[in-house]
Amino acid sequence: MIPKDVYASIHSLMPIACVDLVIEYEGKILLVRRWDEPLKDRWFIPGGHLQRDEVVTQAVKRIARTEVGLDLREEIKLVDYMDLFFTTDPFGHGKGTRTVSLVFKAAPRGEPSVCLDSHHSEFCWWDGMDERRLYGPLRDVLCRNFLPELCR
């Protein structure tokens, strides 16, 4: 793990390489409400930064396990990316947040029993019916790749 002060400095200077997970179960997508900036109190998909010595698929599995308590099936597929700029940041350096995120599709192994980490306040299984509550770029990725008929 990167010490918080070092990560804050990196965060203020560079884009953060991330992986985000579209976890599907019975035609629904797992959403989590974020505690942290950016997008505090907004619905998003589980995700996080890529660690230096980590293969991308290892990051996908780590994030699923640590953020939402799920083990994933082996079929993990890259489906899209998001290049995001936020005015807020979690460290208060005032430079905002820039992330470049690879978006992966995955499924839980067995029936999911979600267990959230301290970065999320709640979760839901989204079926596309209330897409207005989603952050625009995330909504676009989900509509483009998963629920186009519901997001016209």
Domain span including residue 101: 4-137
Residue 32, domain member (yes or no):
yes
Residue 144, domain member (yes or no):
no
Q: What is the pLDDT of residue 152?
A: 62
Q: Which residues does the chain have with pLDDT short of 50?
A: none
Supply the DSSP string of 58-74, one letter for each residue. Answer: HHHHHHHHHHH---B-S
Rounded distance, CA 111 to CA 88, Å?
A: 36
Residue 143, domain member (yes or no):
no
The number of distinct structural domains making up the chain is 1
Tokens of 10: 């990196």
Residue 151, domain member (yes or no):
no
Residue 92, domain member (yes or no):
yes
Tokens of 66: 């640590």
**Cβ proximity of 91 and 9 under 8 Å:** no
CATH of the domain at 9: 3.90.79.10
pLDDT tens digits, one per residue of 16-38: 999 999 999 998 999 999 999 89
Q: What is the pLDDT of residue 79?
A: 97
Residue 19, domain member (yes or no):
yes
